[in-house]
């Protein structure tokens, strides 16, 4: 094992190398490579990083990137509460207050997602809480452990277990007032949206408190949007997600995840062209982002893109079928009106034709038989014609009146 002096000398070389990368304004890919190499050497030597982290910026801060890569390796080797406690102590000693919450959220939720297959039991978490009781900064350490465990449950969509951990666990009790942090409220909203045991009104109340917090972080916004996207369906879900996702995109236009959430919102609202545009933008942004889970996220985005394309084609087919159905209904209505009108005309024609035949037959009988005088016969023929004409008018008028009332009733 190296002596303390040798370790300090090694740490000094690492700090100088990272500082040189920052001063040179290295490209993101080069910065990631240098930070990854230093993190690997620290991990292999059994030393924790001995420098201060002042930001949570992956693009320009090699110290943060190096520490992130180091703790990712530590969690991968041992994804337990012991590693989370060690990480909590490191965060307390080596991060500035201005970035501490962002670093804590990034490492706990991120590593919780990566190590989601290793979930501690309630007994293990209670034991960890008991070991922290009475220790200095116990609330901060309990918050770190709680967020790490919550990150795993969130990644596994264990909504009810997540809600129980955040509200009734020993770690939650030990965190005390820290449970009112926006990230905890956002995680509780996520759990409530997905749970069948909690109401949508309760979930929306938690969402509003987290979203409107003065010092909400990017992770808070992401958890809120994630909860809405995977919520039990409710009226106005798509519109609410679209409004909040648009706010997130406006605040962080280069964030691929927020673009993806906005695409999901437009998909829920059946606005397929906008959804396709935003998911393509998310894929383009992801291609330039050095995230550890790029391949997993790209697969997720591509699956959503396929779903949007399928929904878009299905909507186009449905619109075509609907248009065809309307045209067919209009044609059927025209045919029905034509048949109805023809039937009425036929009845009227039969009535008139019958009256004419009756008049002709009656006239012939009056003309060829009997002893009536010509004047009397003319009056008789006139009366017969008038009666038959009235009969025909009654038939035609009654038919018109009945069909007119039916027409109005149909309209």
* Average pLDDT value for residue range 230-240: 95
pLDDT at 217: 93
82-97 pLDDT, tens digit each: 999 999 999 999 999 9
pLDDT at 31: 84
The four Cα atoms 72, 73, 74, 76 give a dihedral, to 10 degrees, of: 90
pLDDT at 136: 80
pLDDT at 344: 62
- Indicate if the pLDDT at residue 292 is higher than 70: no
- Residue 71 to residue 300: CA distance in whole angstroms: 25
Confidence of residue 281 (pLDDT cuts 50, 70, 90): very high
> CA torsion sign, 351 to 355 to 357 to 361?
positive
pLDDT at 368: 56
- Residue 61 to residue 142: CA distance in whole angstroms: 27
Confidence of residue 139 (pLDDT cuts 50, 70, 90): very high
pLDDT at 367: 60
12-69 pLDDT, tens digit each: 888 888 988 888 766 767 888 899 999 999 999 999 999 999 999 888 899 999 999 9
* Average pLDDT value for residue range 268-288: 92
The secondary structure of 345-391 as a DSSP string is: HHHHHHHHHHHHHHHHHHHHHHHHSS---HHHHHHHHHHHHHHHHHH
| Residue at token pair 């490209």 | 27
- Residue 25 to residue 34: CA distance in whole angstroms: 13
337-368 pLDDT, tens digit each: 776 666 666 666 666 666 666 556 665 565 65
Cα–chain-centroid distance for residue 152?
A: 21
The four Cα atoms 360, 361, 364, 370 give a dihedral, to 10 degrees, of: -140
- Residues ≥6 apart with Cβ < 8 Å to 209: 182, 185
SS3 of residue 169 by DSSP: coil
Confidence of residue 259 (pLDDT cuts 50, 70, 90): very high
pTM assigned to the model: 0.77
On whether the CB atoms of residues 108 and 153 are closer than 8 A, the answer is no
Average pLDDT, rounded, for the chain: 86
CA atoms within 13 A on the CB side of 283: 16
Confidence of residue 317 (pLDDT cuts 50, 70, 90): confident
353: its two tokens: 């034709």
Phi-psi region of 35 (alpha: psi -120 to 50; beta: other; left: phi over 0): alpha
157: its two tokens: 């969509």
């Amino acid at each position: 094992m190296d002596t303390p002096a040798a370790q300090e000398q090694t740490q000094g070389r690492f700090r100088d190398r990272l500082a040189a990368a920052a001063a040179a304004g290295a490209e993101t890919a080069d910065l990631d490579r240098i930070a990854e190499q230093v993190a690997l050497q620290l991990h292999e030597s059994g030393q924790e990083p001995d420098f201060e982290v002042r930001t949570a910026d992956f693009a320009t801060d090699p110290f943060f990137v190096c520490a992130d890569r180091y703790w990712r390796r530590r969690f991968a080797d041992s994804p337990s509460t012991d590693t989370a406690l060690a990480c909590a102590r490191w965060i307390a000693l080596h991060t500035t207050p201005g970035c501490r919450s962002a670093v804590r959220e990034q490492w706990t939720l991120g590593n919780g997602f990566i190590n989601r297959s290793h979930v501690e039991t309630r007994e293990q978490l209670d034991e960890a809480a008991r070991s922290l009781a009475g220790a200095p900064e116990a609330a901060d350490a309990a918050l770190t452990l709680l967020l790490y465990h919550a990150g795993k449950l969130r990644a596994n969509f264990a909504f009810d277990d997540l809600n129980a951990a955040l509200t009734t666990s020993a770690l939650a009790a030990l965190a005390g007032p820290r449970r009112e942090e926006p990230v905890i409220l956002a995680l509780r909203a996520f759990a409530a949206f997905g749970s069948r045991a909690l109401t949508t009104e309760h979930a929306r109340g938690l969402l509003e408190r987290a979203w409107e917090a003065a010092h909400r972080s990017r992770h808070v916004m992401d958890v809120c949007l994630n909860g809405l996207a995977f919520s039990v369906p409710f009226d106005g879900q798509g519109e609410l997600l679209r409004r909040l996702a648009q706010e997130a995109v406006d605040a962080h236009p280069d964030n691929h995840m927020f673009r993806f959430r906005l695409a999901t919102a437009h998909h829920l609202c059946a606005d397929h062209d906008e959804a396709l545009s935003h998911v393509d933008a998310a894929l383009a942004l992801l291609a330039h982002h050095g995230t550890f889970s790029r391949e997993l996220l790209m697969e997720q985005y591509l699956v959503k893109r396929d779903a949007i394309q399928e929904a878009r084609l299905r909507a186009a087919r449905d619109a075509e079928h609907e248009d065809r159905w309307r045209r067919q209904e209009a044609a059927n209505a025209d045919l029905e009106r034509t048949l109805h009108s023809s039937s009425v005309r036929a009845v009227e024609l039969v009535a008139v034709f019958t009256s004419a035949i009756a008049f002709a037959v009656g006239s012939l009988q009056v003309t060829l038989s009997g002893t009536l005088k010509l004047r009397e016969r003319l009056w008789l023929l006139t009366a017969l014609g008038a009666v038959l004409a009235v009969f025909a008018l009654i038939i035609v008028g009654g038919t018109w009146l009945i069909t007119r009332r039916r027409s109005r009733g149909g309209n």
